[in-house]
Structure 1
Amino acid sequence: MDEGLLKQLNLWHNKSQYAKIINKITEIPEADRDYELVCHLGRALNNQENYNEAIQYFLSVQEQGEHDPLWHFRIGYAYYYLKQYKEAIVAFEQAVVLDPEDSHGNKFLEMSRNAAARAGNETNHIVNVEKGMRSGTDPRLLEIEEKINPFGLVAHNNGSISMILGVGKYKHEVFQTRAEEGFEGNGYDWGSLAAVFLEEKMPHLVDIIRFDPEADTFCIYTDNKEAILSFAIAFKEACEDDSLMKDLFSRAVLD
């Protein structure tokens, strides 16, 4: 791919200008689109919630993507949000095999396994919340997940728990109030908002909650189960109070 085009596509992605990416790539004749271009197109379609179309593009370069963990992650992402959890699990498992250090691949794999378990899908991969207890059958964890939707909870085998959100439409209008300053509503912006909430509303958890956001994903984690469940409930309640959220966001610092 031309380096200038790649730089432009990445700039648009970082600014959440996904429509520009889609328009630019689809202007290029299909025969002239290489593997990298198709993957950029599929990622942009994912971010526009056009998951079925994204999957079709990813499948068109399946052979080239066989050994690319990002290809497996991105098609798994589309399957996950289409609630096709079995397919998502297969994709994320391969992504993790190819890149064991990919924290987001691991998180989405566990989210897919938990979602599959809750949906009653057949799977042997149920994540342990704590010794002797499975997340898929932990009534308290499931109850809290329902309360904090669209945020999710991911229980890890090492004992830590993450609170995660695939950013997009949820409360996007709040971030638009400071768009001129560079805020876009991406994962880093959500992290900045959550940091203000943590410092002002739950300062006793400042040294316990850890942040690990990416452009398309907000994520916090800790090995203190009670702390993150308490934070999750309180933060979701704050997000539903638009005036409070805008007040907190007014003091957020652009990352």
Structure 2
Amino acid sequence: MEPMRLIEPSPGKYSLLLDAGTTAVDDVIAGLGHEPNGYFWEGVAQLLVSTEAPALEGRFSYDPEGGMFCAYGTDREALEDLADRMAAVASDAGRIRELVELAKANGFEFDD
């Protein structure tokens, strides 16, 4: 799950976190013309859900900031699934390139 962190700030409520600017693909993201901030990673999460895991749609909410990605909700299983998917992207330069190209092809714009 690294670099993702899943915490339980109160009983039954979970937050999935990623400190922006700390991943192995930050330089690749910048090279693709994006800023590896929390808003960019929200876009990655949205793309992953819409293209690979539509069953996750609506099972959590997003609340990113410039320095951090955050998804939260009560569905720990859904957040764990998203964490695994995002962790794979955050450590694979080829995968992040693929997602940015997919976004371009589909007219998706990252809010970074």
- Sort the TM-score into its range (normalised by shorter chain): 0.7 to 0.9
- Which of 206, 224, 228 pairs up with 2:57? 206
Opposite residue 63 of structure 2, the aligned amino acid is: D
Partner of 2:110: 254
Q: Which one has more relative contact order, counting CA pairs under 8 Å at least 6 apart?
A: 2
More helix by percentage? 1
Structure 1 gap ranges (5+): 1-147
- Which of 56, 59, 67 pairs up with 1:216? 67
Judge conservation of contact 1:196–1:249 (CA < 8 Å) in 2: no
Report the TM-score when normalising by structure 1: 0.38
Q: Residue deviations 1:174-204, cap 9 Å, x none?
A: 321332xxx2111111111111111111111
Q: Which runs of 4+ in 1 moved over 3 A?
A: none
Partner of 1:235: 86
User: In the aligned structure 1, how far is the partner of 2:60 from the partner of 2:100?
Assistant: 19
- Which of 7, 23, 26 pairs up with 1:172? 26
More strand by percentage? 2
Partner of 2:45: 194
User: In the aligned structure 2, how far is the partner of 1:173 from the partner of 1:192?
Assistant: 17
Root-mean-square deviation over aligned CA pairs: 1.6
User: In the aligned structure 2, how far is the partner of 1:178 from the partner of 1:243?
Assistant: 12
Give the CA deviation at 1:158.
4.6
Give the CA deviation at 1:156.
2.4
Aligned to 2:10, the other structure's residue is in SS state coil
Report the TM-score when normalising by structure 2: 0.82
Q: Which of these two proteins has the greater Rg computed from alpha carbons?
A: 1
- Which of 9, 12, 15 pairs up with 1:159? 12
Judge conservation of contact 2:29–2:96 (CA < 8 Å) in 1: no
Give the CA deviation at 1:234.
2.5
Amino-acid identity (%): 26
Partner of 1:110: none
Structure 2 gap ranges (5+): none
How many residue pairs match? The answer is 105
Q: Residue deviations 1:44-67, cap 9 Å, x none?
A: xxxxxxxxxxxxxxxxxxxxxxxx
User: In the aligned structure 1, how far is the partner of 2:71 from the partner of 2:32?
Assistant: 23
Opposite residue 207 of structure 1, the aligned amino acid is: G
Partner of 1:72: none
Judge conservation of contact 2:37–2:68 (CA < 8 Å) in 1: yes
